[in-house]
Amino acid sequence: MGDPSAYGEAFADVYDDWYGDVSDIEGTVSTVARLAGDGPVLELGIGTGRLALPMAAAGLEVHGVDASPAMVERLRAKPEGAAIPVLVADFAEQLPAVPGGFSVVLVAFNTFLNLVADGAQARCLTLVHDALRPGGALVLEAFVPAEAPVASGVDVRTVASEEVVLSVFRRQGEVVAGSLVTLSAAGGVSLRPWSVLPRTPQQLDELAGRAGLTVERRHGGWRSEPFDDDADRHVTVYRRSGGTVTAVNES
């Protein structure tokens, strides 16, 4: 547990098919573009380019970091994918740099919570602070943990005549470890492991504050949906102190 490349290496071959529409791409691009203005953007866990390619197509200067060579290989094989600079590294240990720093660092759809090694989330936020220009923004999307989480579970993801996919998980201390289990006549049994370290928004705020990042706003989605007691996820904008990045009107 805690291998930063494990998720990407396990899911790279199915990621685009299974997760291509897992979150609001248009809303993400629009939000990041407003925050970035004409400055560069860094995506943590860039993967196969689900968000990076639309951001680049919208005119943003996009950079990426990902621990999985298999994910990055798939990004680079796509049209325009090879033009995006990507550092293959654990983003809790190393981030790329640009002159003057990034305007925005984006970490979307639970990717930050995939950092499960001891201290990895805190180390990542310190690196993000240092990679941002003064006044730059970290935009973090994550699910809101249940107040009374269950210890383990099994769910049926898909059932077809040629294949069945089950999702199984078990809580191990603070970490939730799971796997997507594929059963098929042709391929037998295959496992795609994953793990997350859930954090409440308040816990994330505390970690970010220790790294020198301050909460600017929080919504329940990428289109300024209200964050309330019914919200199951959040999009939070944190700022590094030291000024304000020039951006277009966000109203």
160-176 per-position pLDDT tens digit: 999 999 999 999 999 99
**In a shared domain, residues 106 and 211:** yes
- Residues 123 and 111: their CA atoms lie apart, in Å, by 15
**In a shared domain, residues 185 and 164:** yes
**In a shared domain, residues 38 and 161:** no
Amino acid 248: pLDDT:
33
Instruction: Measure CA 166 to chain center.
Output: 23
The larger pLDDT score, comparing residue 19 to residue 242, is at 19
Cβ atoms of 133 and 100 within 8 Å: the answer is yes
pLDDT band at 223; cut points 50, 70, 90: very high
Cβ atoms of 231 and 200 within 8 Å: the answer is no
Nearest in space to 137 (alpha carbons), one of 74, 209, 215: 215
Domain tally for the chain?
A: 2
Nearest in space to 55 (alpha carbons), one of 112, 95, 106: 106
CA distances (Å), origin 39, targets 11, 89, 217: 31, 23, 20
**In a shared domain, residues 189 and 171:** yes
**In a shared domain, residues 162 and 116:** no
Instruction: Measure CA 179 to chain center.
Output: 18
Report the mean per-residue pLDDT for the chain. 94
In this model, does residue 142 exceed pLDDT 90?
yes
**In a shared domain, residues 28 and 137:** yes
Amino acid 3: pLDDT:
87
Query: What is the extent of the structural domain holding 160?
Result: 152-195
89-116 burial, b if ≥16 CB within 10 A, otherwise e? ebbbeebbebeebbbbbbbbbbbbbbbb
**In a shared domain, residues 128 and 17:** yes
**In a shared domain, residues 63 and 160:** no
**Percent of the chain having pLDDT more than 90?**
93
- Residues 79 and 53: their CA atoms lie apart, in Å, by 9
**In a shared domain, residues 19 and 76:** yes
In this model, does residue 74 exceed pLDDT 50?
yes
The answer to whether residue 251 is domain-embedded is no
Amino acid 243: pLDDT:
53
- Residues 106 and 163: their CA atoms lie apart, in Å, by 35
Q: What is the pLDDT of residues 85-126, one digit of tens each?
A: 999 999 999 999 999 999 999 999 999 999 999 999 999 999
Amino acid 245: pLDDT:
43
